[in-house]
Structure 1
Amino acid sequence: MAERTSRLSSYKNAGQGTTELRRKRAELSVALRKQARDEQLLKRRAMSPETETPVETEKVMTPEEILDELKSQDLTRKTNAARAARRMLSREQKPPISIMVNAGVIKPLVEALDHDECSDLQFEAAWALTNIASGTRQHTMAVVDGGAVPKLISLLGQGGVVGEQCAWALGNIAGDGPETRDMILNAGIMQALVPLLNAQTPTSQLRIAVWTYSNLCRNKNPLVQFDLVAPALPYISDLLEISDQDVLADSCWALSYLTDGPNERIEGVQTTRHLLPRLVSLLEHPAPAVATPALRALGNMLTGSDIQTDRCLDADCLKPISRLLSASPALSKEAAWACSNVFAGTAPQIQRAIDSGVLEPIARVLVHHDIKCQKEAAWAITNLCLGGTPEQLDAMLSCDILSPYCALLQARDHRAIIVVLDGLTHLLQAAAKYDQVRGMCIKLEEIGALDQIENLQQHENEQIYKKSIHILDSYFMEEEDASTQPAHDHEQYQFRTNDAAIHF
């Protein structure tokens, strides 16, 4: 470790350290969270299974009539009114949530939850409240302020179809944001929810329960209080072995939210019995809806401490991650991000990544994928340039990765250019230490990187042109060596670059 620290101290950006190099970058987290909203909705509206149009013998009630009937002492009339409200709120297009809220239906719907003697009424009322809570923040808060939460939690604990619908309503409320999430947790939802998180729970109820749990784990600013949701982790670990895709996906999303934070949270998740190997196995799940959150959770773990990273590597995560580098752009991007965090680690961790064969697929990402994927792959190479041993740098160069890496110097993405310039700076610093600057400079000139760096001296971005000038002034301004002068053979000029093979 002392030798590694000494070697890093000779580099320009050594002050970053491996902890900072493991990137919990804000811009990436924001992008991933936005993508997650498309993959897993914060709130879900329960649609009526029957046709949207009531049968001809049924009268379509107005919101005012629904409100009057909900106040009736007759349970049949009250139930019919709750059903009418639910149907109205279940419209696929433009449900009249605001109209119903302004009409005053929330209070009688919440009161209807108290009628244990009529489960049909409780079910319809809970369903209507679920759909109101699926609306805007104002709609959700109207349900909360109406006193629904403690009653929904009580019915959740009773299970059955009413309990399932109450879980759905609570999931929508939790998905509104940290305030309502914490309110529900402090009201005691976990005691009622955890018993449902097992494979014996009917599938439809289990799906809703796991989705609700995932909403209780999500949202930052602030993060969820970990000890409130941690009791469910052994149950989530067991659920990672069942076959239902929806349950697997939402279980992995929950783990991804819990590991997106301080190392103490990663530790709590990672050390849950059997969880880590089960999570790694899901990286090979055929459904992207499962593999994506599994990879995200594991990628978050790789941003942790060296010990936490070693646990992931010991669980044999690199092989499936290497394969995912060749998957869809979304998966490839996150796989490259995961690799970059391994390459930000210790020399043994870097060696394990190289031995797993990730360099070749990373090179393909740099050539064939879009700029978002390429930028993550570039981070991996930049981290390797900073933290790699001489033998590891040789391994990188032998993969013909330098040319596509340097091609990003022509990208429109300023951050991608900066990442590559930083990597080249680290690489040239290492070359200087091991007396390989001449060979490295010739190599960069051969692949056109020198021309690209020279062009960047006029770049509009201050960081880019300063970094470019630093590289040129530090490594390309020496007097030309005689051995690099062109030799005339009466046919053409040839550079003796074969005599300048790079070996760190």
Structure 2
Amino acid sequence: MTKKESDEPMDLSGAHPIDPGAVVSMCNWLQINDVRVIKPALCSLVDILSRTDKATDRVIDCGILRLLVPLLQHKKIKIVENSAWIISYITAGTEQQIQAVIDSDVIQYLTHIMQKGNFKSQKAAVWAITNIILAGTMNQIRVMVDKFKILGPYLDLMDTKDERTTKMILNGLTRILCNAQHFGGLDHLTLMVEQLGCLDKLEALQTHQDVVIYKMSYDIIDKYFS
């Protein structure tokens, strides 16, 4: 998924040249304990992140990932959701930008959101994680599964009523399984999926009314679990 293809969680302002000083100011605004300041700052940052990888680098260099940690735990649900979307725009970027996210503290909070958040926040977290899985390197995927233990919370959402989210997770699972096969860890991973109770959910999706979801779930089971 590219930045252009992602859901737009907030209204984006019109395109205009990026002022490096403005990026610094917006990042500083995120540290102000006032929702009326934080929300427009997040909105403006999405506008910047949706443009180019160079623009994303500028935002990362301003320390955005560190600043998002408390916002991912904010008492206002909309702030949590929008902060997760910010990360999804970053993980739609380059290998280096994905690594910056992995090296930060945000993954553990995205995992918590997938477990405990409201659905809109969960969807944003799923999108951010899926971007890493689909665009990341094989080693980055291994870190997500082995270190951050994203598999359970991630796959637990595959039976959501939102078909687009289900398709994203199935795409992510396919890449995770393919990656495990490459490293010789497929048997261990498939056992883990089964022990998490996610194989039952995958089998249930074979009766889904959406033909694409039915086919994706069928193909995964046929190739990796038969």
- Tell me if both proteins adopt one fold, taking TM over 0.5 as the criterion: yes
Number of equivalent positions = 224
Separation of aligned partners in 1, 2:54 and 2:148: 29
Which AA in structure 1 matches 2:13? Y
Residue 24 of structure 1: CA displacement? 4.7
Give the equivalent residue in structure 1 for 2:124.
Answer: 376
Q: Which amino acid in 1 is paired with 2:3?
A: R
Offset of residue 360 of structure 1 = 0.5
Aligned residue in 2 for 1:85: none
Correspondence for 2:109: 361
Q: Tell me, yes or no, if structure 1 residue 474 matches structure 2 residue 213.
A: no
Give the corresponding residue for 2:3: 22
8 Å CA contact 1:302–1:342 kept in 2: the answer is yes
1:300 aligns to what?
47
Q: Compared with structure 1, are the counterparts of its residues 273 and 362 closer, same or farther at alpha carbon in structure 2 (3 Å cutoff)?
A: closer
Query: How is 1:23-38 mapped onto 2 (pairs within 5 angstroms)?
Result: 23-25=4-6, 28-29=7-8, 32-33=10-11
- 8 Å contact 2:68–2:83 — kept in the other structure? yes
Residue 441 of structure 1, CA deviation: 0.9
Q: TM-score, normalised by structure 1?
A: 0.43
Is contact 1:299-1:334 (8 Å) kept? no
1:473, distance to aligned residue in structure 2 (A):
1.5
Q: Which residue of 1 aligns with 2:34?
A: 287
Please state how far the C-alpha of 1:23 moved relative to its aligned partner. Answer: 4.5
2:88–2:125 contact (8 Å) kept in structure 1: yes
The aligned runs of 1:135-150 (5 Å cut-off) are none
Q: Distance in 2 between matches of 1:466 and 1:300?
A: 36
Unmatched 5+ stretches in structure 2: none
Aligned to 2:80: 332
Higher relative contact order (CA 8 A, sep 6+): 2
User: What is the aligned-residue identity percentage?
Assistant: 32
Q: How does 1:434-453 map to 2 (within 5 A)?
A: 434-453=183-202
- Give SS of 1:258's match: coil
Q: Is the 8 A contact 2:114 2:154 kept in 1?
A: yes
The offset of 1:446, in angstroms, is 1.1
Q: Which residue does the alignment assign to 1:278?
A: 25
Aligned structure 1 segments of 4 or more residues deviating by more than 4 angstroms: none
Distance 1:404 1:277 in 2: 34
Structure 1: gaps (5+ residues): 1-19, 34-255, 260-264, 478-504
Q: Deviations over 1:73-131 (max 9, x none)?
A: xxxxxxxxxxxxxxxxxxxxxxxxxxxxxxxxxxxxxxxxxxxxxxxxxxxxxxxxxxx
How far, CA to CA, are the matches of 2:24 and 2:36 in structure 1?
19
CA shift at 1:322, angstroms? Answer: 2.5
Would the aligned equivalents of 2:3 and 2:92 in 1 still touch at CA under 8 Å?
yes
Task: Please report how far the alpha carbon of residue 308 of structure 1 lies from its aligned counterpart in structure 2 after TM superposition.
Answer: 1.2
Distance 1:413 1:305 in 2: 29
How big is each residue's C-alpha offset from its partner over 1:152-202, in whole Å with a ceiling of 9 and x where there is no partner?
xxxxxxxxxxxxxxxxxxxxxxxxxxxxxxxxxxxxxxxxxxxxxxxxxxx
In structure 2, C-alpha distance between the alignment counterparts of 1:289 and 1:463, rounded to whole Å:
41
* Structure 2 contact 20–58 (Cα < 8 Å) conserved: no
Instruction: Write the letter of the residue equivalent to 2:23.
Output: L
Deviations 1:359-414 (A, max 9, x none): 10001110111111101100111111112223322321222221111110122222
User: 1:273/1:411 Cα in 2 relative to 1: closer, same or farther (>3 Å)?
Assistant: closer
Distance in 2 separating the partners of 1:281 and 1:345: 23
Q: CA 1:273/1:448 → structure 2, altered by over 3 Å: closer, same or farther?
A: closer
For 2:175, the equivalent position in structure 1 comes to: 426
Structure 2 counterpart of 1:417, one-letter code: T
Give, in whole Å, the separation in 1 of the partners of 2:176 and 2:51.
25
RMSD: 1.7
Aligned residue number for residue 404 of structure 1: 153
Distance across 2 between alignment mates of 1:438 and 1:273: 49
1:257 correspondence with 2:13: yes
Q: Give 1:416 deviation, angstroms.
A: 1.8
Residue equivalent to 1:352: 100
Contact 1:340-1:381 within 8 A present in 2 as well: yes
Task: Give matches, 1:44-55, under 5 Å.
Answer: none
Tell me the residue number matched to 1:393. Answer: 141
Please state how far the C-alpha of 1:476 moved relative to its aligned partner: 1.2
Shift of 1:295: 0.8
How far apart, in 2, do the equivalents of 1:467 and 1:395 lie?
A: 25
CA 1:406 to 1:285, structure 2 compared with 1: closer, same or farther past 3 Å? Answer: same
Q: Give the Cα–Cα distance (whole angstroms) in 1 for the partners of residues 46 and 203 of structure 2.
A: 36
CA contact (8 A) 2:141 2:179 kept: no
> Per-residue displacement from partner, 1:436-457 (whole Å, max 9, x unpaired)?
2222111111111111100000
Match of 1:465 in 2: 214
CA distance in 1, matches of 2:133, 2:174: 9
User: For the residues of structure 2 that align with 1:273 and 1:469, how far apart are their CA atoms?
Assistant: 49
- Aligned 1:118-197 pairs, distance under 5 A: none
Question: How far apart are 1:352 and its partner, in Å?
Answer: 0.9
